[in-house]
């Protein structure tokens, strides 16, 4: 039985998959190779880049017009800026790959001796020149994980590829594809030897084109899931299909991970006579987040970078203005954390859930709140009691807690979410909506109660203008969100961060009615 793949390149005989070359403009790629161009393929991690490169290699070798070699240079990362160590790793890996996939022993015989004669800053160039000349068939080179290399080692690779460019195809690879998370033009390479920052575009100014590998379309997601149904008879309900697409927005690893969890890991999925429904998909989603799977953990680790913070913090706080640069934005988009299209937003709902949870993880662990304190006799969650407790906690501890957060501008919202998450983890879930210029953060608590889920909206706003205007605006926003998600109860939380304000002036609780006639609890903090 095939299965959904979440680790490494696809193997068609083992994995449900979308044929990798269907995800490319293959005619355009083949034309660039024919035209002897060097170009870049980039996409966020675990999007399918390596699967595409391997499929392209196999196609070119099968057609017989070229010799195509693939090499992953990530092993050179351990050498940091030791150029000779990195070059030995890269050339050794390339020689081994050529031997295995092309049955070509040429590089194995010569690569090691080139260092004594030419040194590390020319060994790669000489090796590729001699290899290209050794066979009349043009050479195509696919270099994966190029941006795993850093500093002078990365500079040396790029410059040696550039140095032999004019000798192609008889004396150098006809075409080179560099593959990584980022476009080479966006590299800012810190050269220790030159004591300078070198732009990737200047170190590799022979690049003709940059291609970005996109996420799956909705149609591709449904095609992938249909393969499981075709082979096992187990169907995905219409709601389940829509839920997978809605929560992943086609991010390939997320799609495969959700489907694998629902179909192969959870007991409900093991019975092939039972359909996979939206409830199973949501349960699978929660398990992926709680386990902090490697893919999500790597994403969360990026949140600690300052250039990521400059982009994500305004999203969390709902700020109207932001201080990030176009370079910061491009970097975070290349990571896949932000969607490639405007308006600016987190790439998919699972990432949107991971970001605040990760940023508040330590805070959750440090809170002593017990869910049992806020569950009534009927098993319902008393959100009013919960917010009253948070209000008292925020008054006593907010200054100390908010300073713990790296994303301080969004500190009050993060602290509230940590408090709520600590409680809701015991049986419900929180759905979140936030984004640049929204001026608010929308939280939806979904709490199982009997046969139905009880929904409660909590809207957070920062007080920047008059209190009455903020309340009036917040009431309409809260009522609108309640209507959109069919919630019966709503709470508006207003954080007053103005300097010099007394807590007695900031703390209040009242019940107000929106212009549309919806009663909403308002909490001042």
Token couple for 128: 């590729």
What's the pLDDT at 362? 78
**pLDDT of 515 higher than 70:** yes
Q: Greater confidence, 235 or 198?
A: 235
Query: What's the predicted TM-score (pTM) here?
Result: 0.89
What average pLDDT score do residues 414-432 get? 86
| 47-79 pLDDT per residue, tens | 999 999 999 999 999 999 999 999 999 999 999
Residue 450 pLDDT class (50, 70, 90 cuts): low
Give me the mean pLDDT over the 301-330 stretch: 87
What is the structure's pLDDT at 293?
Answer: 86
CA dist 373 and 240 (Å) reads 34
pLDDT, tens digit (0-9, with 9 covering 90-100), for 245-276: 999 999 999 999 999 999 999 876 778 999 99
- 173 in Cβ contact with 135 (< 8 Å): no
- Which of the four pLDDT bands, split at 50, 70 and 90, describes residue 404? confident
Residue pair 174/143 in contact by the 8 Å Cβ criterion:
no
Tens of pLDDT along 482-496? 999 999 899 999 999
User: Do the Cβ atoms of 234 and 274 come closer than 8 Å?
Assistant: yes
What gap in Å lies between CA 360 and CA 504, rounded to an integer? 27
* Dist. CA 406–CA 418, nearest whole Å: 14
9-13, 319-323, 377-381: which range is least confident on average? 319-323
Q: How confident is the model at residue 449 (pLDDT cuts 50, 70, 90)?
A: low
Share of the chain above pLDDT 70, in %: 98
DSSP H helical segments within 426-466, as ranges? none
Nearest C-alpha neighbor of 169 from the set 211, 122, 128: 128
For residue 408, give both structure tokens.
């301080």
Q: Is-contact 187 147, C-beta < 8 A?
A: yes
In whole angstroms, what separates CA 204 from the centre of its chain? Answer: 27
Q: CA–CA separation, 73 vs 64, rounded Å?
A: 25
The upper half-sphere exposure of residue 311, i.e. CA atoms within 13 Å in the direction of its Cβ, equals 26
Taking residues 272-300, report their average pLDDT: 91
When pLDDT is averaged across residues 379-398 and rounded to a whole number, the result is 92
Entry field: residues in the chain: 525
According to the model, what pLDDT value does residue 75 have? 96
DSSP state of 42: E
Which residue segments constitute the domains of the chain, with CATH numbers given? 19-212 (3.40.50.300), 218-291 (1.10.8), 296-524 (no CATH)
For residues 394 and 163, give the distance between their C-alpha atoms in angstroms, rounded to a whole number: 61
- Band (pLDDT 50/70/90 cuts) for residue 342 is confident
By percentage, how much of the chain surpasses pLDDT 90?
A: 71
C-alpha–C-alpha distance, residues 335 and 45, integer Å: 7
Q: What is the pLDDT of residues 491-514, one digit of tens each?
A: 999 999 888 889 999 999 999 999
Long-range contacts of 217-226 (CB under 8 A, 24+ apart): 217/250, 218/245, 218/250, 220/18, 220/23, 220/250, 221/245, 221/248, 221/250, 221/255, 223/18, 224/4, 224/16, 224/17, 224/18, 224/255, 224/256, 224/259, 225/259
Could you give the CA distance from residue 411 to residue 414 in angstroms, rounded to a whole number? 5
Whether 131 contacts 107, CB under 8 Å:
yes
Instruction: Decide if pLDDT at 236 tops 60.
Output: yes
CA dist., res. 503 & res. 523, Å (int): 13
What is the b/e burial string over 171-191, where b = at least 16 CB atoms within 10 angstroms of the residue's CB?
Answer: ebbbbbbbbbbbbbbbbebeb
Nearest to 279 by CA among 271, 269, 289, 291: 269
Residues 258 and 285 sit within 8 Å (Cβ to Cβ):
yes
User: Is pLDDT above 60 for 451?
Assistant: no
With residue 445 as reference, give the H or E element that holds it. Answer: strand 441-449
Q: What is the mean pLDDT of the chain?
A: 92
Q: What are phi and psi of 502, to 5 degrees?
A: -80, 150
Beta bridge partners of residue 216, listed in sequence order: none
Q: What are the start-end ranges of the H helices in 369-515? A: 383-402, 411-424, 467-485, 503-506
Beta bridge partners of 459: 442, 492
Residue with token string 């080692």:
153
Query: At a CB cut-off of 8 Å and minimum separation 6, what does 395 contact?
Result: 503, 507, 525
511: three-class secondary structure by DSSP: strand
Instruction: Return the pLDDT at 317.
Output: 85
pLDDT exceeds cutoff 60 at 380: yes
Give, in order, the Cα–Cα distances in Å from 255 to each of 28, 96, 390: 27, 33, 36
- pLDDT tens track for 69-119: 999 999 999 999 999 999 999 999 999 999 999 999 999 999 999 999 999
Residue 185 has pLDDT above 70, yes or no: yes
């Amino acid at each position: 039985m095939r299965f959904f793949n979440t680790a490494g390149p696809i193997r068609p005989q083992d994995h449900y998959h979308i044929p990798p070359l269907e995800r490319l403009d293959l005619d355009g790629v083949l034309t660039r190779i024919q035209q002897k161009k060097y170009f870049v393929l980039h996409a966020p991690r675990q999007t399918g880049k390596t699967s595409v490169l391997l499929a392209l290699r196999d196609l070119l070798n099968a057609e017989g017009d070229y010799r195509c070699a693939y090499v992953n240079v990530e092993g050179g990362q351990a050498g940091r800026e030791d150029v000779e160590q990195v070059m030995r790793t890269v050339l050794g890996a390339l020689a081994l790959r050529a031997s295995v996939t092309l049955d070509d022993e040429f590089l194995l015989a010569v690569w090691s001796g080139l260092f004594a004669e030419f040194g590390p800053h020319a060994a790669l160039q000489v090796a590729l020149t001699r290899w290209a000349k050794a066979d009349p068939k043009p050479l195509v080179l696919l270099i994966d994980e190029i941006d795993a290399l850093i500093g002078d080692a990365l500079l040396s690779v790029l410059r040696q590829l550039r140095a032999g460019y004019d000798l192609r195809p008889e004396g150098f690879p006809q075409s080179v594809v560099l593959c990584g998370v980022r476009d080479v033009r966006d590299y800012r390479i810190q050269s220790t030897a030159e004591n300078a920052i070198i732009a990737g575009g200047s170190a590799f100014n022979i690049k003709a084109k940059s291609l970005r590998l996109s996420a799956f379309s909705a149609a591709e997601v449904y095609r992938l899931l249909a393969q499981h149904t075709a082979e096992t008879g187990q169907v995905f309900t219409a709601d389940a299909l829509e839920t997978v697409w809605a929560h992943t927005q086609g991010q390939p690893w997320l799609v495969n991970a959700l489907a694998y969890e629902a179909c192969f890991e959870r007991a409900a999925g093991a019975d092939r006579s039972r359909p996979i429904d939206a409830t199973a998909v949501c349960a699978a989603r929660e398990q992926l987040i709680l386990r902090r799977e490697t893919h999500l953990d790597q994403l969360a680790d990026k949140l600690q970078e300052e250039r990521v913070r400059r982009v994500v913090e305004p999203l969390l706080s709902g700020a109207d203005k932001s201080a990030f640069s176009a370079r910061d934005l491009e970097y975070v988009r290349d990571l896949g954390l932000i969607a490639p299209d405007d308006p600016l937003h987190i790439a998919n709902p699972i990432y949107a859930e991971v970001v605040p949870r990760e940023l508040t993880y330590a805070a959750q662990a440090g809170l002593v709140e017990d869910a049992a304190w806020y569950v009534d006799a009927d098993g319902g969650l008393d959100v009013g009691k919960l917010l009253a407790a948070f209000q008292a906690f925020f008054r006593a501890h907010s200054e100390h807690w908010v300073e713990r957060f790296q994303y301080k501008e969004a500190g009050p919202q993060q602290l509230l979410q940590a408090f709520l998450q600590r409680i809701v983890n015991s049986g419900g879930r929180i759905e979140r909506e936030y984004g640049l210029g929204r001026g608010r953060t929308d939280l939806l608590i979904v709490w199982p109660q009997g046969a139905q889920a009880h929904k409660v909206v909590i809207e957070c706003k920062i007080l920047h203008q008059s209190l009455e205007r903020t309340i009036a605006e917040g009431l309409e926003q809260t009522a609108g969100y309640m209507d959109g998600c069919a919630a019966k109860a709503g709470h508006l939380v207003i954080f007053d961060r103005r300097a010099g304000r007394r807590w007695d002036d900031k703390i209040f609780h009242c019940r107000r009615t929106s212009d549309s006639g919806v009663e909403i609890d308002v909490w001042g903090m």
